[in-house]
Structure 1
Amino acid sequence: MSPAIDYSSNRRALVPVRSNERFARPRLVEVPKTPKGERVQAHDGRELYLRSIEPGDVPALKRQFARLSPEDIRRRFLHSMSELPDSMAQRLTHIDPAVETAFVLMDETVKPAEMRGVGRIFVDEAANSAEFSVLVERDWSCQGLGALLMQRLVDDCRRRGLGEIWGYVLLENRPMLHLCKELGFVRRLSPDEPGTTLISLLL
């Protein structure tokens, strides 16, 4: 099990490599401290910073949404949306850490810094479980970043002592289904949500 993010340590995380090694512990390399988060290197060598979401991320979150295709939006929100309302952007960036975790992957090579990936959980305390969602921009897909975000969400659920992590995924979203299968998630059809499947992992 990978450790939780420790911003005080001088470490650089490499995303998991290929499929059968995808959820192995990332190799860590000593680097100088940075206030931006944990440095992550994608398979193609590009670098991002992994950190918790912050209230000031509203503009970056809205810019990311504007770059998404209709297909990407439907896969993430399970329905079509033409824009991300300010109220929703505020809600998604102002989280309650007691029952939520949200990690972002920030691209600091551009100004202002851009959000390239988001992974989050919402905890259901009564059910001792958490619902997850993961989104990586298409230009950054197939780089191990979704796998890294899923790793950290699973780690956070285990740190919280939860018994299960789960989420609804569109049947057409094969990359996410494949990723979760490799991690050990199981699938079951959702009769109330045609075209979707419920995937879950016992912790």
Structure 2
Amino acid sequence: MATRNRMPPWHENFKAPSGRELLIRPIRPEDGAPLQGAFALFGPEEVRDRFLQAVDVLSDETAQRLTHPNPKTEISLVAAEPLPPGEAVVGAVARASIIPGTRDAEYAILVSRFLAGQGLGRQLMRKLVKWARGKYLDRMYGDIAQDNEPMLQLAASLGFKQVPHPSGTPGLVRMVLELAS
């Protein structure tokens, strides 16, 4: 029986239609500096859609929080060049976190404009959903700007349903996937 080359958990080689090869993998502490450096690659629209405000730099505090997820309650994945963590340019970040005291997880995905529209967001979202199902959660949700049509369509195509945002914030919708079925 042949031995197969297996990748570590949550790792996957991803080849975009453009031919660009990326490695989807869990974020590492060494990714902090490259992530901060690559933040400029994310266009103002992507950053605004994710952070719901104009943010020019990724703060040290936010980079620290992203690169040190609690493995019991969070998962943070990156799509990066197939180089060692700390050297690879990060082109996308996906994160899901269990809301304390609930069986719900909130997700967020940020994809560079250079990689948008190539299926990377879909693949990252599938991995987040798989993680949430593995944690036996009831639902997963994300807050999305109402004018972020690509993300709304992506979430809907994966079974997420649009609901009014609980805060009533204008221009913001919540996409919810019921996992308990």
- When normalised by structure 2's length, the TM-score is 0.88
Moved over 4 A (4+): none
Identity among equivalent pairs (%): 37
The one-letter amino acid paired with 2:46 is D
**2:110 counterpart of 1:135:** yes
> What are the ranges of 5 or more consecutive residues in structure 1 without an aligned counterpart?
1-8, 12-32
CA distance in 2: counterparts of 1:86 and 1:151, whole angstroms: 29
Amino acid in structure 2 at the alignment position of 1:175 = P
Query: How many corresponding residue pairs?
Result: 172
- Give 1:65's aligned residue: 39
Partners of 1:68 and 1:182 in 2: how far apart?
24
- Asked if 1:89 corresponds to 2:63, the answer is yes
Q: Secondary structure of the equivalent of 1:50?
A: strand
Displacement of 1:189: 2.0
Offset, 1:125: 4.1
Q: Secondary structure at the match of 1:151?
A: helix
Offset of 1:45 from its aligned partner? Answer: 2.4
Aligned match of 1:181 in 142, 156, 169? 156
Cα distance, 1:71 vs structure 2: 1.4
Is residue 50 of structure 1 aligned with residue 24 of structure 2?
yes
1:41 to 1, 4, 15: 15
For residues 120 and 139 of structure 2, the distance between their equivalents in structure 1, rounded to whole angstroms, comes to 22
Separation in structure 2 between the aligned mates of residue 70 and residue 42 of structure 1, nearest angstrom: 23
Q: Note the C-alpha offset of 1:72.
A: 1.4
- Which of residues 113, 122, 131 in structure 2 aligns to 1:156? 131
Q: CA deviation at 1:43?
A: 2.1
Please report how far the alpha carbon of residue 82 of structure 1 lies from its aligned counterpart in structure 2 after TM superposition: 2.1
Contact preservation (8 Å) 2:106, 2:142: yes
- Aligned-CA RMSD value: 1.9
Q: SS state of the match for residue 19, structure 2? A: coil
Task: Tell me the distance in 1 between the aligned counterparts of 2:156 and 2:131.
Answer: 19
Q: What's the CA shift for 1:92? A: 1.1
Within the alignment, does 1:10 sit opposite 2:5 as a pair?
yes
1:171 aligned partner = 146
Q: Per the alignment, in what secondary structure is the counterpart of residue 141 of structure 2?
A: strand
TM-score by length of 1: 0.79
Equivalent in the alignment of 1:193: 169
CA deviation digits over 1:99-138, x for unaligned, max 9?
11011111137x9310011111010142201000011111
DSSP-derived class of the 1:140 partner: coil
Residue 107 of structure 1 is matched in structure 2 by 81
Whole-Å separation in 1 of the counterparts to 2:176 and 2:91? 25
Point out where structure 2 has 5 or more consecutive residues left out of the alignment: none
Residue in structure 2 matched with residue 28 of structure 1 by the alignment: none
1:146 aligns with 2:121: yes
Corresponding residue SS for 2:75 = strand
Q: Distance in 2 between matches of 1:64 and 1:130?
A: 26
